[in-house]
Amino acid sequence: MAEKMAIVGDMPLVTGFKLAGVSSIFPVEKGEEFEKKLTELMDSGEYGIIVVDESFLSGLDWRLKKKISNLAHPVIIGVPGISGEAEVEEGESINVLIKRALGFDISKK
């Protein structure tokens, strides 16, 4: 069974992915609503990739941050919000996250 991709974030983010054809979109507000939806999607086992507004990640509860950092599946990917500026934090690159989830580096030939 193929796993799905979910998009969680503000309206501009989820609308952009909806226009690109992604059907599992979840518009939420930053804070508690985001944490609740992210936890629900992570625990569902239905999604292989969860794309989130990276500015939402910075305000997460430390326990949820720790859970995300220890996860191999699903892969949580933060993307820049509407401003386009990436907020570099303790995050890992997409290649590192995918390697952890799949067990091999897809960028190597």
The backbone torsions φ and ψ at residue 90, rounded to the nearest 5 degrees and listed phi first, read -80, 15
Domain boundaries, the chain: 4-102
Which residues fall within 8 angstroms of residue 38, CB to CB, at 6 or more apart?
A: 8, 50, 52, 64, 76
- pLDDT recorded at residue 98: 60
Whether the model clears a pTM of 0.85, i.e. scores above it, the answer is no
pLDDT tens string 86-103:
544 445 555 665 666 556
Whole-number Å distance between alpha carbons of 59 and 44: 22
Query: For 12-63, what is each residue's pLDDT tens digit?
Result: 889 988 998 888 999 999 889 999 999 999 988 889 899 998 888 877 888 8
Name the 3-class secondary structure at 50. Answer: strand
The class (CATH top level) of 4-102 is alpha beta
Confidence of residue 3 (pLDDT cuts 50, 70, 90): confident
Q: Residue range 64-86: average pLDDT? A: 76
